[in-house]
Amino acid sequence: MKQLIECVPNFSEGRDPSIIKQITDAIEAVEGVKLLDVDPGAATNRTVVTFVGEPEAVVEAAFQAIRKACEVIDMSKHTGEHPRMGATDVCPLIPIANITMEETADWARRLGERVGRELDLPIYLYEAAASRPERQNLAVIRAGEYEGLPEKLANPDWKPDFGPAKFNAKSGATVIGARDFLIAYNVNLNTTSVRRANSVAFDVRENGRVLNDPATGKPMKDASGEPLRQAGTLKGVKAIGWYIEEYGIAQVSMNITDIRATPLHLAFEECRQSADRRGMRVTGSELVGLVPLGVMLEAGRYFLKKQQRSVGVSEAELLKIAVKSMGLDELASFDPQQKIIEYNLEKGNPENAKKLIKKD
């Protein structure tokens, strides 16, 4: 059976459609790759692209996309709400069918080596492809962002895994790795306050918040000098608050890295409860990129049970209740054929596509 992997590169351009198209054209020019989704954001100035195929084709398409991004994106002029460090900020490979995580990580290392060698770009490996434990977490690698790269690259502890340890002002640095499926999910609040959105983010994210001394207001530390933290309520969730000018609202922006521990509907509900306690209201939410069908069906069943209704309804009805309950269509229409990975893989024949997706 053929192996399938997914690639979800994040490019630091979300405002110029012509630049985005040049990158996606480079991807689609590679035979054997299917482009599933292109999700630009003006406020974040970032585009998340999703494509799938057999490993060799996907890695070739990823390389061509990274090369094109180096040509058409100038990081020295980049501004945006999302943390970033390069023209291609991060490029994860995700095992989909008939391939192990370690095999996928090996493909990520091959990609990283080629990008570093041929494009003269600093490359860091993360998650399952990480060269050392302290580099597994993307947020740790990206700390300091693009502006902090000159200092980071001068530090021997942060020598890139591939490519030169020198600052590339135009293209920055790129993080490449292999990881499990991740859901990028934003919850909309009826406020414009980033501080209030962050308060919800700190309530729910696994890493929680730093505890401050009530008397001094300064961070409290443990015996080893590390800040004391109060854990958040959701396992496998990273979150920040931000303001999105194009929508005129603040959001809690989450990466759900463990969809077994934290299903989509639970992330929504925890944000709703936190916002309620703080005098705010969740008005809706949005998915960035694609989502597995099972996640949406599970959400539909949850909300039907909450209404004390039967869950013995059609797949279409479960999807409808999930979309309406979480307000996934508040900011833009939600088309299951586009946003659900199984449907997108084989539009018009979702039953066959389900067989291609690794079930959890």
Return the exposure string of 298-315: e unless at least 16 CB atoms fall within 10 Å of the residue's CB, then b: bbbbbbbeeeeeeeeeee
Q: What are phi and psi of 286, to 5 degrees?
A: -145, 145
Alpha helices in the chain (DSSP H): 17-28, 55-72, 101-119, 138-142, 149-154, 194-204, 264-277, 293-306, 315-326, 336-339, 341-345, 350-354
pLDDT of 97: 82
Q: Measuring CA to CA, which residue among 141, 148, 91, 142 is closest to residue 114?
A: 91
The CATH topology of domain 183-203+234-354 is Alpha-Beta Plaits (3.30.70)
Cβ-contact 243, 201 below 8 angstroms: no
Instruction: Please give the full DSSP string across 10-56, using - where no structure is assigned.
Output: EES--S-HHHHHHHHHHHHTSTTEEEEEEEEETTTTEEEEEEEE-HH
Domain ranges (residues) in the chain = 4-178, 183-203+234-354
pLDDT of 267: 99
| 265 in active site | no
| Catalytic site residue from 82, 84, 135, 339 | 82
pLDDT of 125: 98
Pairing of strands 249-256, 183-189: antiparallel
What CATH number was assigned to the domain covering residues 4-178? 3.30.990.10
The residues with which 241 forms a beta bridge, in sequence order, are 252
Ramachandran assignment for 284, one of left (phi > 0), alpha (psi -120 to 50 degrees), beta (any other): left
| pLDDT in single tens digits along all 360 residues of the chain | 789 999 999 999 999 999 999 999 999 999 999 999 999 999 899 999 999 999 999 999 999 999 999 999 999 999 998 999 999 999 999 998 889 999 999 999 999 999 999 999 999 999 999 999 999 999 999 999 999 999 999 999 999 999 999 999 999 999 999 998 889 999 999 999 999 999 999 999 999 998 988 888 888 888 888 888 899 999 999 999 999 998 999 999 999 998 989 999 999 999 999 999 999 999 999 999 889 899 999 999 999 999 999 999 999 999 999 999 999 999 999 999 999 988 887 663 333 344 443 332
Contacts of 216 (CB under 8 A, 6+ apart): none
